């Protein structure tokens, strides 16, 4: 199939508690809530998040224009909340893709300085899967979001060093 301007618009993660997840992605990772769609009759809400550096053009104020703008972006994160999961004590959570059986692995956030960013994560008590100097791949980290999904943290210069062996 010929690419006629196709692009990856978003990746979706299911979340147990939208308040907790939104705080993590906006306050810890610096995303911005772009739009929320409530589907009350179907029992779920969608939260679309973006990072300013990756957004194409300013976000329109008019909702109809904003929906069209949103559908034309790349690199958006969609958080899906199924109503009731946040208060269901029997809810076991979502599979993060990294435990058996493996599947989905992680999302990735590019930062200017992995080490400084990870120092902030340490202060905030964010759970690490891998710190920047753990293992053989130095200069990148993995943290967990509130639902246990892995988030890779790397910098462009750090990735270059890893790939080229510098």
Task: Give the mean pLDDT of the chain.
Answer: 91
CB 127 within 8 A of CB 134: no
Q: Which residues pair with 153 in a beta bridge?
A: 109, 141
Task: State the DSSP string of 130-152.
Answer: E-TTSSSSTT-EEEE-TTS-EEE
Which residues neighbour 134 within 8 Å (Cβ) at sequence distance 6 or greater? none
Task: State yes or no: is 152 an active-site residue.
Answer: yes
The DSSP secondary-structure symbol of 22 reads: H
Share of the chain above pLDDT 70, in %: 99
Fold match flag (10-82 vs 106-164): yes
Position of tokens 């772009």? 34
The CATH topology of domain 106-164 is 2,3-Dihydroxybiphenyl 1,2-Dioxygenase; domain 1 (3.10.180)
**CB neighbour class for 48 (10 Å; exposed up to 12, middle 13-18, buried from 19):** buried
Q: Where are the domains of the chain?
A: 10-82, 106-164
The CATH topology of domain 10-82 is 2,3-Dihydroxybiphenyl 1,2-Dioxygenase; domain 1 (3.10.180)
Full-model pTM: 0.89
40-67 pLDDT tens trace: 999 999 999 999 877 888 889 999 999 9
Asked, as a colleague might, if the bond just before 101 is cis with ω within 30 of 0, I would say yes
**Which listed residue (35, 100, 119, 152) is catalytic?**
152
pLDDT for 1 = 63
76-128 pLDDT tens trace: 999 999 998 888 887 777 888 888 888 888 999 999 999 999 999 999 999 99
């Amino acid at each position: 199939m010929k690419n006629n301007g196709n692009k990856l618009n978003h990746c979706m993660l299911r979340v147990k508690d939208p308040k907790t997840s939104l705080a993590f992605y906006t306050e810890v990772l610096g995303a911005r809530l772009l739009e929320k769609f409530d589907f009350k009759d179907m029992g779920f809400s969608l939260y679309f998040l973006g990072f300013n550096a990756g957004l194409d053009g300013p976000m329109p104020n008019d909702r109809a224009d904003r929906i069209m703008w949103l559908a034309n972006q790349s690199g958006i994160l969609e958080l899906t909340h199924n109503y009731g999961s946040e208060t269901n004590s029997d809810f076991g959570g979502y599979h993060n893709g990294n435990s058996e059986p493996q599947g989905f692995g992680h999302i990735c956030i590019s930062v200017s300085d992995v080490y400084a960013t990870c120092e902030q994560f340490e202060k905030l008590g964010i759970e690490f899967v891998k710190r920047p100097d753990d293992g053989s791949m130095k200069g990148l980290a993995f943290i967990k979001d509130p639902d246990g999904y892995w988030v890779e943290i790397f910098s462009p210069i750090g990735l270059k060093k890893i790939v080229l062996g510098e």
